[in-house]
Structure 1
């Protein structure tokens, strides 16, 4: 029961982070002047920059294309999988 709640919480955290990174990448393609848009972009930056910025320092944009969100998604998936496996192993 407790393990299930813990695993669901971990998965929810990573899912929110995945969605935020994807939304941030998509919204960066559309320059919109609406205030709500920029408030949303700032909020997504606040959530995702701690994850994406270190990757961007190692892998700068190439030809105007920033691959750091894609790399971040892959790394987060690996980290999530490892984290879940560790939690399950420790619980036994």
Structure 2
């Protein structure tokens, strides 16, 4: 069971890191530091979007429309923090068996 805890924690950490990269990249694109006409930037951007849209879309359907401000990543961050905390708190349960 220890490996299950470690695997879930690793997945949550990877999602966290990918979301941070996506958010920073979106800022750089919006402030025109990065250009989507560059092939590498475009590939990274569209790849990150394809990875994260399945997480964001259900939340976007629930949240009210806030215009240019996208709150879906914030909600996903909060869910990740809650899941990591729940895993950490229940880790002792996994180690008992």
Could you say whether these structures have the same fold, taking a TM-score greater than 0.5 normalized by the shorter chain as the test?
Answer: yes
Q: Please say if residues 20 and 44 of structure 1, whose CA atoms lie closer than 8 Å, have aligned partners that are also in contact.
A: yes
- The change in CA–CA distance for 1:58 and 1:83 in structure 2 (over 3 A counts) is same
Aligned length: 90
**Which of the numbers 43, 49, 61 marks the counterpart of 1:45?**
49
Distance 1:60 1:27 in 2: 24
Which structure has the bigger radius of gyration? 2
Counterpart residue number, 1:66: 70
SS of match in other structure, 2:69: coil
For structure 2, list consecutive stretches of 5 or more residues without a partner in the other structure.
Answer: none
Distance 2:10 2:65 in 1: 29
> Is the aligned partner of 1:12 residue 2:10?
yes
Deviation at 1:90, TM superposition (A): 4.1
Q: Which runs of 5 or more residues in structure 1 are unaligned?
A: none
> Aligned equivalents of 1:16 and 1:52: distance in 2?
16
Q: Equivalent residue for 1:89? A: 93
